[in-house]
């Protein structure tokens, strides 16, 4: 009996020793292997996530400037998706409704008036350039040729309409109520010695009616689209100190986002400034 107990004890020791040996020689599981990380190396940084930024813009010069910085922004992880507009209203509506992230087509007074009229809360995140407003004609070559009773077309939106009337006043064609400024409408004309007929039309339509009116005051972006050269073709225009820089407009909820700030920085770069000065030769002026 004693001999059987000893044999059993030795058998147990042998089994334990064999099991320990088997564990020592087992291959490591995949989860413990250094090569199990997805990148194939330890400590590598994950690639930066790309962000798409949807921007509404007028074709000229706004979309041109956006395309100029598109590749640079892509290198910084921002994919610029540009949607061109021919009217001002929808570009603002779609930012407000979050169909677009930002837009680039308007000056600050226009945006502020739009907010007031439509109940939106768009904000400026940066000034890019100034487009001096100009007066154009296919019928006369000098303002001195403007006849009594001539028809003058101006934009029908509040801020640009007022801006056009102020420019007419500065060139001695009308006189407005004191202090009215760019809030002026045709009703604010107190002196009109030539009896000019003021026609208010959608801004985008103005280049198309040049054959039908004697004079039209046209936003520079629409003038450029119509192949007009403001510094050569305008009978008179705002000077370089125009207080109407074109801005990037965003919402309160995204104005400080990294992608939006990268866009503003790219558009305010020395490269963009040089491009504006070289291509537009004073028709458009950098505002930074």
Q: What is the pLDDT of residues 25-46, one digit of tens each?
A: 433 333 333 333 333 334 444 4
pLDDT of amino acid 4: 47
Domain layout of the chain by residue ranges: 51-132+243-286, 134-237
**pLDDT tens across 214-243, in order?**
999 999 999 999 999 999 999 999 987 788
Least confident among 71-85, 206-220, 230-244: 230-244
The CATH label, of 3.40.50.300, 2.60.120.10, 3.40.190.10, 3.50.50.60, for the domain at 51-132+243-286 is 3.40.190.10
Tell me the CATH number for domain 134-237. 3.40.190.10
- pLDDT of res. 48: 62
Q: Which of 45-49, 91-95, 163-167, 245-249 has the lowest mean pLDDT?
A: 45-49
C-beta of residue 136 within 8 angstroms of C-beta of residue 234: yes
Residue 62 phi/psi, 5-degree rounding, is -60, -50
Q: Look at residue 158 in the predicted model and tell me its pLDDT.
A: 86
Does residue 283 register a pLDDT over 50?
Answer: yes
User: Is a pLDDT exceeding 80 seen at residue 144?
Assistant: yes
Residues pairing with 217 in the sheet = 135
pTM of the model: 0.77
pLDDT at 14 over 60: no
**To which residue do tokens 């296919």 refer?**
138
Under the banding of pLDDT at 50, 70 and 90, the label for residue 186 is very high
Is pLDDT at 174 greater than 80 in this prediction? yes
Helices (H), the chain: 2-24, 64-68, 70-75, 88-96, 108-118, 158-170, 220-225, 230-233, 258-267, 270-280
Q: How far apart are CA 276 and CA 3, in angstroms?
A: 104
Tell me if domain 51-132+243-286 and domain 134-237 are identical in fold.
Answer: yes
Query: 142: left (phi > 0), else alpha (psi -120 to 50), else beta?
Result: beta
Tens-place pLDDT, residues 126-136? 999 999 999 99
pLDDT at residue 242, rounded to an integer: 80
Helix axes 108-118, 158-170, angle to 10 degrees: 140
- φ, ψ of residue 191 in degrees (nearest 5): -140, 135
Better-predicted residue by pLDDT, 87 or 273: 273
């Amino acid at each position: 009996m004693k001999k059987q107990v000893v044999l059993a004890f030795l058998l147990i020791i042998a089994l334990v020793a064999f099991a320990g040996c088997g564990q020592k020689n087992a291959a490591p599981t995949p989860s413990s292997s250094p090569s199990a990380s997805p990148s194939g190396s330890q400590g590598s940084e994950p690639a930066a996530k790309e962000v798409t930024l949807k921007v509404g813009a007028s074709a000229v010069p706004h979309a041109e400037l956006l395309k100029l910085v598109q590749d640079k922004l892509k290198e910084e992880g921002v994919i610029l998706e540009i949607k061109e507009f021919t009217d001002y209203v929808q570009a603002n509506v779609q930012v407000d409704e979050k169909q677009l992230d930002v837009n680039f087509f308007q000056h600050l007074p226009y945006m502020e008036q739009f907010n007031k009229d439509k109940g939106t809360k768009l904000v400026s995140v940066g000034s890019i350039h100034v487009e001096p407003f100009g007066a154009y004609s296919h019928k006369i070559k000098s303002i001195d040729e403007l006849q009594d009773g001539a028809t003058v077309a101006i934009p029908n939106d509040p801020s640009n309409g007022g801006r056009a009337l102020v420019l007419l006043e500065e060139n001695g064609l009308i006189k407005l109520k004191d202090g009215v400024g760019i809030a002026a409408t045709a009703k604010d004309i107190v002196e009109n010695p030539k009896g000019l007929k003021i026609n208010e039309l959608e801004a985008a339509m103005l280049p198309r009616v040049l054959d039908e009116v004697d004079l039209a005051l046209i936003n520079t972006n629409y003038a450029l689209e119509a192949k007009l050269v403001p510094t050569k073709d305008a009978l008179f225009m705002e000077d370089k100190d125009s207080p109407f820089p074109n801005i990037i407009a965003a919402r309160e909820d995204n104005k400080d986002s990294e992608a939006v700030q990268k866009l503003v920085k790219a558009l305010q770069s020395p490269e963009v400034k040089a491009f504006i000065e070289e291509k537009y030769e004073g028709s458009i002026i950098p505002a930074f």
